[in-house]
């Protein structure tokens, strides 16, 4: 009964995440179809990945005929944060979280799920996290299906406009910390400037490698010019 209660509690906590994912992944579904990805393939991608930025860049690489090495490097750079989230979250897990549960739960570590679980006042049980993951992954996959299906029947002009939804989410993630910290704002400007440089000057560089270059270069700028002081770490 306790496991059932924890699972239902996790599902209830995951409803806001699932609803948010439903709307955002709608934009991913439209973007995927616009790039020539089938509805079924788009749904499978969302069901097996749960990574908005990784998926968005992944379909760009697929549509442009990028190599597997490029895809692997891009996904490593974009999704490396999930490994750090997993390490941090391990400090707040219940003792019942065996290796098998950890491997399964790793599938559902996203920014929002990590935030929800890491701020829970009591240890996170496997059933609680599974409840969140079930609702969240359903919202993400269902939104992708609806967006991809709509992308096949809606006018091209409307598809192009609705395809901006996914990028709107990225902007919404960046704006608050950039407005709060000057260092974040300057790193964002640096990354944006490098992206423009790759687009119009370094045209020999593919989209995937451009993401790797911009991400690593901007991170290096942030680390060199805006290091975290010891008192801030504490």
Residue 164 and residue 27 in contact, taking contact as beta carbons nearer than 8 Å? yes
Please give the Cα distance from 132 to 144 (Å, whole number).
18
Please give the Cα distance from 182 to 65 (Å, whole number).
38
Considering the entire predicted model, what is its pTM?
0.72
Which pLDDT does position 75 carry in this prediction?
86
Of 60, 72, 70, the residue nearest 35 (C-alpha)? 60
DSSP 8-59: HHHHHHHHHHHHHHHHHHHHHHHHHHHTT--HHHHHHHHHHH--HHHHHHHH
**44 falls in which pLDDT band (50, 70, 90)?**
very high
Of 37, 33, 55, the residue nearest 153 (C-alpha)? 33
Please give the Cα distance from 110 to 133 (Å, whole number).
9
Of residues 158 and 213, the one with the higher pLDDT is: 213
Give phi and psi for 124, each to the nearest 5: -80, 125
Tell me the β-bridge partners of 93.
124
Q: State the angle between helix axes of 39-49 and 52-63 in degrees (0 to 180), rounded to the nearest 10.
A: 140
Which pLDDT does position 23 carry in this prediction?
82
Mean pLDDT (whole number) for 228-234: 53
**173 falls in which pLDDT band (50, 70, 90)?**
low
Domain boundaries along the sequence of the chain: 2-171, 181-234
Which pLDDT does position 110 carry in this prediction?
87
Rg (CA), the chain: 19
**Mean pLDDT computed over every residue of the chain:** 82
User: pLDDT tens digits for 5-30?
Assistant: 889 999 998 998 898 888 888 888 88
């Amino acid at each position: 009964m306790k496991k059932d209660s924890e699972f239902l509690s996790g599902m209830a906590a995951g409803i806001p995440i699932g609803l948010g994912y439903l709307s955002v992944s709608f934009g991913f579904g439209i973007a995927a179809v616009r790039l020539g990805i089938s509805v079924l393939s788009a749904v499978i991608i969302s069901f097996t990945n749960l990574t908005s930025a990784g998926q968005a860049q992944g379909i760009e690489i697929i549509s442009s005929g990028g190599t597997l090495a490029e895809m692997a490097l891009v996904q490593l750079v974009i999704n490396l944060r999930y490994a750090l989230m997993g390490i941090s979250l391990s400090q707040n897990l219940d003792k019942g979280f065996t290796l098998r549960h950890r491997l399964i739960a790793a599938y559902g570590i996203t920014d929002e799920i990590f935030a929800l679980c890491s701020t829970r006042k009591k240890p996170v049980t496997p059933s609680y996290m599974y409840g969140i993951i079930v609702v969240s992954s359903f919202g993400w996959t269902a939104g992708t299906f609806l967006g991809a299906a709509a992308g096949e029947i809606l006018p091209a002009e409307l598809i192009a406009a609705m395809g901006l939804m996914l990028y709107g989410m990225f902007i919404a993630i960046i704006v608050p910390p950039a407005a709060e910290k000057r260092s974040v704002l300057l790193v964002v400007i640096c990354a944006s400037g490098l992206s423009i440089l790759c687009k119009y000057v370094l045209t020999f560089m593919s989209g995937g490698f451009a993401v790797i270059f911009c991400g690593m270069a901007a991170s290096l700028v942030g680390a060199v010019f805006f290091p975290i002081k010891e008192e801030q770490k504490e």
